[in-house]
Every structure is written in C-alpha cells, then in structure tokens.
Chain A
Amino acid sequence: MLLVTNNEKVRTKYGPLCTVRFVDGGHNDVLKTVRDLVHKGHRLLTHPLAGSVKPNETPFRSVALSGEAGAVDLPSLELIEEAMSMCRQFPPRFHRGEDAPPDMRDDFAEIDFRLIDGALSLQ
C-alpha cells in the first residue's frame, strides 16, 4: 500500500508500516500528488474526500493507493478528478497546516488521522 499524506501524525504511525509519500504542502497538493500517482497506474483504495469536514476547511488529507502500479484505473481517475474539481469550487481556508490556529490544526490533524486509521484498520 502507498499512503499519500501531509499529516505528520499519519506519517508517524504508518511510516514504519507501509510506503508513505509525505507531501510538504496543503490539502490540494496531496490531491495533485494522488492524481499523478493515479496517472502512473496506482489504484485509489480510499476516497479522496473522506470526512464531512469540508475539503476547503481542513488543511490535512491522507489517501491510500495500491502499492503496485498497472494500467490506469479509470474509476480512480474519475474520483480524483471529481474531488479536485470540487476543491476548485471552494477556495481553501487554510492552504497549509501551519496557516490554521494551533489548537484547530491539531484537531484537523487528529480527525484526518482517525478517518484514515479507521478505514485501514478495518481492512
């Protein structure tokens, strides 16, 4: 499995467990990295818009993809393009984690961590 994240909390737990592609950037930078990986043939394992904390609110995002790359997976491509187009509609409130006030930053990071951790621990 390949995990793309800009959340330090996710990197700390999953770094030793799988391949983590850490993105030094904001929410939309994570989605762009995911899109590039989908173009290279990785398949999405989790939804790129997890959580009802709106994508333009949270600065953190973690998305799981297949470790191996094959032919381009069209459903994955469609999902990531739709997610990015949804994000383009709403300008991000906090571009990067450090733009959010510290207590909110921690809470956003915790929610992102819990959502991806919950999804992966069930598998």
Chain B
Amino acid sequence: MRLELGEIHISDIKLGDCSKVENGVLYVNVEELRSLLLEDEDLASVEFEVVHPGESVRVIPVKDVIEPRCKVEGPGGMFPGVISKVNTVGSGKTHVLKGCAVVTTGKVVGFQEGIIDMSGEGAQYTPFSKLNNLVMICEPKEGIKQHEHEHAIRMAGLKAATYLGALGKDVTPDETHVYETSGVMSGKAQYPDLPRVGYVLMLQSQGLLHDTYVYGVDMKRSMPTILNPTETMDGAILSGNCVSACDKNTTYHHLNNPVIHDLLEQHGKTLNFVGVIITNENVYLADKERSSDWSTKLASFLELDGAIVSQEGFGNPDTDLIMNCKKLEAAGIKTVIITDEYAGRDGASQSLADADAAADAVVTGGNANMVIHLPKMDKVIGHPEAANIIAGGFDGALEADGSITAELQVITGATNEMGFNKLSAR
C-alpha cells in the first residue's frame, strides 16, 4: 500500500465569513460551520475560540484533539465508517493541515479532565500547546444522557475536522511524505535478512467514555485484527475515550502515531515493518485472555521476530499489556512495551498494576502522579471549576489566584503511551 501525505503548513487560524486556506492561514466561516454542527439534535450551542502557541490561555476539560485532513486521491474518505463510507483507506493521496487542530471541550460528567495550557509550565507537557487550535465549546440540550452528550461532542469534532480538512483539497502541499508498505510475502522476498517487526496497538475499549472506534466498529465488540499502517493516517481509528487525559490516545495521536511513523521510517533499512495488530482492553477477564491469545496468534501468523506493544490508559489495561507481552515472548517474539507509570507523587511506589519477568524491555512515558503547578492564565476556555474534580486534581487544586496544583495526569497527552512526548520521562 502506498500513501502520499501532503502537508500544508498552517501558521494561523482566523474566524470570519469565508472558509478557505490561503498563504498558510486557515480562514473559518463560523456561521457555516456552526449550522453544520447544530444539525445534531443533541447540541444546543457551539462556540468557537482560536488559541495560539504562547498565549496565556487554558482549555479545560478537553475531550478530543483532531487534525484536519482530506482524501485527495484513492479509495475512501476521512474517518471511514463514521464520517465517510466504510471503504478501506490508507492508499492514494491525503492532504493534512499541519500545525493546527480542532479541540473539543464540554462537561460530559462531573469529574472530567484534560488541560491544555498554551504557555507556562503546563504547555511543556502537552504537544497541543504547539498548535494553532480551533477550540469548540459544545453545550448539550437539556436532559440528554451522558453517552448521548459524549457522542454529540465526538461527532462535532470529527465533522469540523472534516469540514476544515476539505479546504486543503486543492491547495499545493508545502511538504510531501510517501509511505509505502510491503505485503507479507513480498516484504519477506524484498528484505530476507531484516528482522520482521510488528506493532501491537492496544485500544481502550472498556465502555462509556472509554471507547475507541475502528472503521466505525466499537473495538470492545471486535476480535484483534490486522491493519495496514497507513490506514491509521486516514482516520481508520478514532477516539471516544474521555478519561485519563495524560495517557489517552486522542484522534490526533492515532492520525500521527509515532510508533507507526518511526517503524515506516526504518522499514527496509534496519527492519521489515510487517503490519499493525490492533487489539482491545476489555473489562471481562475472558475477553482479555482471548484478545491477548489472538494478538499473539496473529503475530505468529505474520512470523514476527519482534513486536512493539503500546498501551492506552492505566489500571486494568496493565493486565492486557502484561498478557500481550508474556504471550508474545513465550511465542519467541522479542517484545518491547510502551506504558506510563502511576508511581505515587514521590515516584517510589510500584508503577504498574501488573508485572512479569517477560517484560524486560519497557519504555515509559513518565510518572502521571508527579505534582505540577500551573500558573494562572489570563483566559480560561471551558469549565475552570473542573480542575477541582478532574482525575489528578484534588480539593483545593484550583487556587484562589487561578493557578492549579495537580498531578501531571490532568494534562492532555502528558504521558502518552505511544511515546508522543519527550518531556516527562528522563
């Protein structure tokens, strides 16, 4: 499969009465976009704010972050099975509005989380402080249930990103990257001496506010399966996960999965990147056994020599992580796991809820319990009172002067387990 990714560099977003991309500026007709989003019966209002890197602005609580993209050539469209028809994506040509994102915010439940600070100490921990963000404050109609509210916000973010991405369809990209993958047999013929490496991508799938969708399928209802790495770049996987801000994979992370990018970069040089095995993180223990058996079985079918496993979330997914690792190693597949840690505020406690001697190659995204102090921001978008009740915040987290003392886990993407960040682990 061959995908050409054309990056259009976006240096600013401006709200106005016309939607276009011109000279690196993304112009958004807010009324047109608003009326598109308000077609959803569950939404009462959508407000827009633009935030730039370096500004004294805090966004809280963040639900998802999405990069605007558009299919230019080849089968399918963005977010297949949800926004576009369900055709297989990942080949042809896709345009990306690089340097910007859609950020959705809304209070789905009383203890929601996720901070993006655009400046100060907190900004160092989230990759999204480096982007020009179109923040959408989505308020639901009176009386709708939590799961309907989550669905409405999720869909609004995806629709807005698709609308904005389409503005780049006829724009000449500033930079083009080509990603080409081999078939199972042709890869073996092409690179007979390179180690065969696969990526086991674990997806959060425990239930309400903890879900991930693949081609529109709720991943907790799926068996592990195989994706071509480039499919993720066209939005085959999207996030419906609103909890655990620091180590959730936003849709932006799925579109820009650094494990996939790095493995493709090394494909044909130091290794043969055979494919992506996606698996779930369910609540039922028999599901965990079945899924880890299957991800290992698929890895063995692909005759992998090595695997990288990335986790999403904390606590019971540690069990899935260790099951995957143990079984892959037992099948003779050298395995590296990527996780993060809940090692207490002093970093001295046991980091994971599960462990095994087979997990002897571990990459960490950092300690989510580390306490940080976030200075007061001139402007807060969303629900600042959420700081007191989000995971990792604690009573008194929101100080009288508007600053916040909380654990690192409140920051969106801070200890991401795809290894998207560099700062929190030394």
Chain A residues close to B by CB (< 8 Å): 44-55, 57, 64, 79, 82-83, 85-86, 89-90, 93, 101, 103-104, 106-108, 110-111, 114-120, 122-123
Contacts and interface: CB of A to CB of B under 8 A. Distances in A.
A99 to B, nearest CB: 11
A115 B110 contact: no
A104 B208 contact: no
B220 A118 contact: yes
Nearest to B242: A52
Q: How large is the interface on B (under 10, 10 to 19, 20 to 34, 35 or more residues)?
A: 35 or more
Given A93-B394, A114-B147, A119-B282, A49 B353 contact: yes
A110 B208 contact: yes
Given A45-B285, A89-B344, A119-B207, A51 B243 contact: yes
A107 B111 contact: yes
A89 B350 contact: yes
A82 B208 contact: no
19 contacts: A47-B288, A49-B315, A51-B206, A51-B315, A52-B313, A52-B314, A53-B111, A53-B391, A82-B354, A86-B315, A86-B342, A86-B353, A101-B389, A107-B146, A114-B147, A115-B207, A119-B283, A120-B284, A123-B284
Identify the interface centre among B285, B344, B350, B394: most chain A CB within 10 Å of its CB: B285
Contacts of B285: 44-47, 79
Interface in B110-158: 110-111, 146-147
Contact of A51 (B110, B288, B316): B316
Contact of B315 (A52, A111, A119): A52
Could you tell me the dominant secondary structure of chain B's interface residues?
Answer: loop
Contacts, number: 122
A48 B204 CA distance: 16
A89 B208 CA distance: 26
A90 B344 CA distance: 7
A86 B243 CA distance: 19
Interface centre among A49, A54, A83, A101 (most CB of B within 10 A): A54
Interface in B332-361: 342, 344, 349-350, 353-354
Contact of B111 (A55, A89, A104): A104
A53 B283 contact: no
The 6 closest A-B pairs by CB, nearest first: A118-B207, A107-B109, A119-B283, A104-B110, A114-B208, A52-B244
Nearest to B110: A104
